[in-house]
Amino acid sequence: NPDEFVTFDNSSTAWFAQASLRPALVENKFFRNLEFVGRYSQLKTPEGAEWHTDQTQLDLGINYWINWRTLFKFSYRIMGGEEEDHHEEPGEEHEELGGNAFFIHWAIGF
């Protein structure tokens, strides 16, 4: 019976929600090419597994469209949640996730 070898429920969940707003009807070309973006995501992996994590992520950013397929992306990521450390002593608390960061990307579509 395969269930005898697994000591945890081996199922993960992940989801995200994303929204963006681009003021395309504004007359000023600079503001017309801006896009305001936000994304929230969550990842939960099996509790008791070596890779267990309960992680959330919030990304807020501004994109600037140079043309219909090229843009610069400026964003800030806020990480949250906790990750299990399997090298810790029994009864110790889980490590809190951090790692907030700024990102600058240049993207070209084909």
39 in Cβ contact with 30 (< 8 Å)? no
Per-residue pLDDT band at 87 (split at 50, 70, 90)? low
Q: Which residue has the higher pLDDT, 9 or 106?
A: 106
Instruction: Name residue 13's beta-bridge partners.
Output: 44
- Helices (DSSP H) in 25-107: which residue ranges? 29-32
Tell me the pLDDT tens digit for each residue of 13-40: 999 999 999 998 999 999 999 999 999 9
Backbone angles phi, psi at 58, to 5 degrees: -120, 125
User: What is the residue range of 34's domain?
Assistant: 2-108
Name the residue with tokens 């960061």. Answer: 101
- Helices (DSSP H) in the chain: which residue ranges? 29-32
Q: Which residue has the higher pLDDT, 85 or 102?
A: 102
Tell me the pLDDT tens digit for each residue of 34-69: 999 999 999 998 887 788 889 999 999 999 999 999
Say how many domains are in the chain.
1
